[in-house]
């Protein structure tokens, strides 16, 4: 897996858009970067504490008692630029659906088809969500000059989801030929 701490990039990047609390950071990452990134609280809070110690972010009192609003320091911005320029560490692939389909003979064609249909529905749902994100992206004023870059990630999600749908249809067609499972399941007359 990624040798480098990419959580840092996500946090510094998010704070480069606007200062926020750890909680809001997680919400934002889930809602905005959700289709290509994720972070859990268990990562965010320790990471924020460490970034603060390193002087890359600053903690300010928030509205509510106990709430801290974090913002990027000048050093933090420099660090973000450096981290973004690092080579991308590719995550080793781990696709649970394809693993099951590869050994699909032991599942039978019908079970495989329903896995594929579920994946197709998921992609359809993703597409609908991306349309929402796309609309939101077009709506807000582009104060920071980020919009074009955000569009790239939306495009990626859309292309991926469309490819998944096309694949699912081709895969279902491919399985049409296989009526009787190689190993008939639960058919001990």
Piece of 46-54, 56-64, 90-98, 127-135 that binds a second copy (CB under 8 A): 90-98
Residue 65 engages DNA in binding (rule: CB under 7 A): yes
Q: Which does 21 bind (CB under 5 to 8 A by kind): DNA, a second copy, none?
A: DNA
Q: Which does 180 bind (CB under 5 to 8 A by kind): DNA, a second copy, none?
A: none
- The 3-state secondary structure of the chain reads CCCCCHHHHHHHHHHHHCCECHHHHHHHHHHHCCCCCCCCHHHHHHHHHHHHHCCCEEEEECCCCCCEEEEECHHHHHHHHHHHHCCCCCCCCCCHHHHHHHCHHHCCHHHHHHHHHHHHHHHHHHHHHHHHHHHHHHHCCCCCCCHHHHHHHHHHHHHHHHHHHHHHHHHHHHHHCCCCCCCCCCCCC
Residue 51 engages DNA in binding (rule: CB under 7 A): no
Q: Binding residue for DNA (CB under 7 A) from 94, 139, 186, 188?
A: 94
Q: Binding residue for a second copy (CB under 8 A) from 74, 90, 135, 143?
A: 90
Q: Give contact residues for a second copy (rule: CB under 8 A).
A: 2, 6, 9-10, 13, 16, 33-38, 77, 80-81, 84-85, 88-107, 111-112, 115-116, 144-146, 148-153, 155-156, 159-160, 162-164, 166-167, 170-171, 174-175, 177-178, 182
């Amino acid at each position: 897996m990624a040798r480098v701490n990419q959580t840092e990039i996500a946090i510094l990047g998010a704070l480069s858009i606007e200062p926020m609390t750890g909680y809001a950071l997680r919400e934002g990452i889930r809602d905005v970067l959700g289709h290509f990134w994720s972070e859990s609280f268990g990562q965010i809070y320790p990471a924020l504490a460490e970034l603060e110690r390193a002087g890359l972010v600053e903690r300010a009192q928030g509205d509510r008692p106990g709430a801290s609003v974090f913002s990027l320091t000048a050093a933090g911005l420099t660090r973000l630029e450096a981290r973004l320029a690092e080579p991308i560490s590719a995550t080793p692939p781990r696709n649970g659906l394809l693993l099951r389909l590869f050994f699909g003979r032991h599942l039978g064609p019908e079970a495989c088809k329903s896995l594929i249909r579920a994946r197709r529905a998921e992609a359809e749902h993703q597409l609908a969500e991306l349309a929402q994100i796309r609309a939101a992206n077009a709506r807000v004023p582009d104060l920071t000059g980020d919009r074009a870059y955000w569009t790239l990630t939306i495009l990626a999600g859309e292309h991926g989801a469309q490819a998944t749908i096309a694949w699912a249809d081709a895969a279902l067609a491919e399985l049409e030929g296989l009526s009787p499972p190689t190993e008939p399941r639960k058919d001990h007359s």
